[in-house]
Amino acid sequence: MARVSWVVKSGKRLYGRVLGTYAYLVVIDLGTGQGMCTCPRGGNCKHVMAVLWEYERGNYIEADANLITAEAEVWRFAAENREFGKEIILREIGHALKTDESGSRVGELFLKALEMLDGDETFRLRLSMLFEEFERIFYDHAITGIIASRLRGSPEGSSP
Ligand SMILES: [Zn+2]
């Protein structure tokens, strides 16, 4: 099932990231209504439809015209809107666990997620549950131990 990770609007352009069999990038020209997608169909697909659906419901980030990449805009926005950032990272990790055979992308996402730990125990718990799956698959990766200690350690004097 395709799920929209985020939508960014910059001028008349709409950018969206859709998590399907793989992760796809969608670009829609709101002026012409034309959509492009990185899936095999290249557009006119359920990914473009899914991004439009979210956009029409107001679920998008308004970016200014000097946008560098839509993804950079998403993380800039997430830094200011922590709850939004947490939802995105959990969604991305959940998807990457199913699709990233190297473990590199998931590892990167976990490192990003660790920076979002702020004493929110629900977030830590949800992250830990996803990490258990990562740990089972990539138990022999050095990064696994690093993430485990940072995720399960007791930082800032909190008791375990
Ligand atoms: Zn598509």
pLDDT in tens, 49-69: 999 999 999 999 999 877 889
pLDDT exceeds cutoff 90 at 26 = yes
- Ion ligand 1 neighbours (CB, 5 A) are 37, 39, 45, 47
129 and 87 share one domain? yes
Q: Please report whether residue 23 resides in a domain.
A: yes
Looking at per-residue pLDDT, the higher value among 157 and 4 belongs to 4
70 in a structural domain: no
**Same domain assignment for residues 96 and 33:** no
Quote the ligand 1 centre to 36 CA distance (angstroms): 8
Q: Are both 109 and 142 inside the same structural domain?
A: yes
Q: Which of 65, 89, 119 is the last residue of a domain?
A: 65
pLDDT at 46: 96
Residue numbers of the domain that contains 91:
81-157
> Is the residue at 107 inside a domain?
yes
- DSSP H helical ranges for the chain: 46-56, 70-80, 82-99, 104-114, 121-137, 142-152
- Residue 158: pLDDT band with limits 50, 70, 90: very low
Query: Do residue 135 and residue 85 come from a single domain?
Result: yes
Confidence check: pLDDT of 19 > 80: yes
For residue range 89-145, list pLDDT tens digits in order: 999 999 999 999 999 999 999 999 999 999 999 999 999 999 999 999 999 999 999
Q: What is the mean pLDDT of residues 140-154?
A: 90
Q: Which of 23-32, 86-95, 147-156 has the lowest mean pLDDT?
A: 147-156
In a domain, 95, yes or no: yes
Distance 119 CA to ligand 1 centre (A): 38
Give the up-direction half-sphere exposure of residue 9: CA atoms within 13 A in the CB hemisphere: 14
- pTM for this entry: 0.87
**Looking at residues 44-48, what average pLDDT do you find?**
96
Residue 76 included in any domain: no
Ligand 1 centroid distance, CA of 11 (Å): 22
Asked if 8 and 73 touch (Cβ cutoff 8 Å), the reply is yes
Q: Do 59 and 85 fall into the same domain?
A: no
Please state the domain count of the chain. Answer: 2
Residues 28 and 34: their CA atoms lie apart, in Å, by 6
Residue at 27 is within a domain: yes
Residues 96 and 149 in one domain: yes
